[in-house]
Amino acid sequence: MNSLRSFPSGRSWLPLLICALLLLSAGTATAAQEVTEDGVLHVKNGDTPRDGVQDMELEELWRIGGEDDEDVLLGIISRVLIAPDGDIYLLDGQLSQAQVFSPEGEFIRTLGRQGDGPGEITRPGDMLFMPDGTLGLVQIFPGKIVKLNLDGTPAGEFKPDLGDASAGGFLALINCRSAGGNLVLGGIQISMDTATMVQTRNFFLRSYDLQGQQVASYIEKPVTWTFDKNFKFKELDSDFIWWRTDVAPDGKVIACIPRYRYALSVFNPDGTLDRVIDREYEPWTRNDLVRNRYKSIMEAQAGQFPPGTPLEIEDREQDVEDLRVAPDGTIWVLPSRQMFEPEPGYFAVYDQFSPAGEFTRQVRVKCEGDPSTDRLIFAGDRVFLITGFWDAVLSASSASTDEDEDAEPMSVICYRIK
């Protein structure tokens, strides 16, 4: 199996440099500087964390799925949640359901199923606990949230009110988060003028109440596609903050809006911009494996366009790959370089920021797996390794992969932090 680690990084000095930082970081790290630009507070950080680099050791508790598990069948696990009682919810987008396990890894029940009836859904892409305590399964298209009581009984549907903007158009919901009483939806409003062959896509990040009424708007990004002889399918036209956003325990929304800048915008729940957290960062240029994978995804999506439609694929990877806010309010960021070129022996390296925005430390996560094919998901006090995640996503999108057709079934490994 091909691996990102099989490609030379061109940075053989990086491990030595990080070792030096472990010894010298206390003396070389520069304190975050707070400045005001255009009326907005900016917290500017250097490239060295205040408290240096720390290792995160993980202890395996249990695993499910894979070739040897005859009791649990997994499709594509894309989200993990832990309920207040400690039960663990795994969203399976391929099987259109959520499977519930005890903290010890014992199967409890399945919630939801494929269909259009009450409590049924088609290929959910995300999952969240709604502010009213129900479980929400997020259907991508047509966009809606199917609500379930935790015993599995239907609890209705949530559809955001788009007003006149929904007339003759479509809604896709990509990700939804809820914390501190703030329900935040990220999606795309799509409208098509068949007379002019112009399609408008508005990428948005907004807050809604439980009645579906908009409370605040954080980001609006309109993109226009004109389907004529000059149309080109550009990767940048589909770029948004999907995994570069989360909601903090106090309801604030953190998002990395620019693709090519390490800058985290922190919004108050009412939509006002509280501050921007900046960090010096050296961009990462895609290697052949990563670029070819994105090319495969775009080629699969381009099947909806006329044959021969040209593609415009980026050579540079986005600076921030993933972002989450921990229960204590600290902000964890996975940059592109630390994801695709981790140090030998580590799965990935995360940047950690204080709630105020100071770059406090880097955390090197040590566990089995390969970030080119597997994915780590943090939930509560647990860490979950989803094996074969990226190739499964590529396969589901009808994009070609470098894997054999008889790839090993997906498995989920549950860890706790030592």
Q: How confident is the model at residue 3 (pLDDT cuts 50, 70, 90)?
A: very low
Do the domain assignments include residue 298?
Answer: yes
Mean of the pLDDT values across residues 353-360?
98
What CA–CA distances, in Å, run from 151 to 134, 154, 207, 338?
10, 9, 27, 40
Sign (positive or negative) of CA dihedral 298, 3, 69, 57: negative
Contact status, residue 137 vs residue 124, Cβ threshold 8 Å: yes
What CA–CA distances, in Å, run from 406 to 214, 259, 300, 320, 368?
46, 35, 21, 32, 22
Q: Which of 11-25, 128-142, 337-351 ranks highest by mean pLDDT? A: 128-142
Q: Is the bond preceding 142 in cis, omega lying within 30 degrees of 0?
A: yes
pLDDT of residue 10: 39
pLDDT digits 0-9 by tens, 169-228 = 899 999 999 999 999 999 999 999 999 999 999 999 999 999 999 999 999 999 999 999
pLDDT of residue 26: 39
Closest by CA to 9, choosing from 414, 277, 335, 284, is 284
pLDDT of residue 28: 56
Do the domain assignments include residue 123?
Answer: no
pLDDT digits 0-9 by tens, 217-276 = 999 999 999 999 999 999 999 999 999 999 999 999 999 999 999 999 999 999 999 999
Pairwise CA distance, residues 19 & 345, whole Å: 14
What is the number of other CB atoms lying within 10 angstroms of the CB of residue 380?
16
Of all residues in the chain, what percent carry a pLDDT higher than 90? 79
Do the domain assignments include residue 237?
Answer: yes
pLDDT digits 0-9 by tens, 132-172 = 999 999 999 999 999 999 999 999 999 999 976 555 689 99
Q: How confident is the model at residue 108 (pLDDT cuts 50, 70, 90)?
A: very high
Residue 347, pLDDT above cutoff 60: yes
Domain range spanning residue 238? 4-73+233-417
Q: What is the token pair recorded at 199? A: 């399609």
Do the domain assignments include residue 117?
Answer: no
Residue predicted with more confidence, 73 or 385: 385
Pairwise CA distance, residues 340 & 352, whole Å: 18
Residue 30, pLDDT above cutoff 90: no
Do the domain assignments include residue 140?
Answer: no
Contact status, residue 398 vs residue 391, Cβ threshold 8 Å: no
Predicted TM-score (pTM) of this structure: 0.89
Do the domain assignments include residue 40?
Answer: yes
Do the domain assignments include residue 157?
Answer: no
Please give the tally of structural domains in the chain. Answer: 1
Do the domain assignments include residue 192?
Answer: no
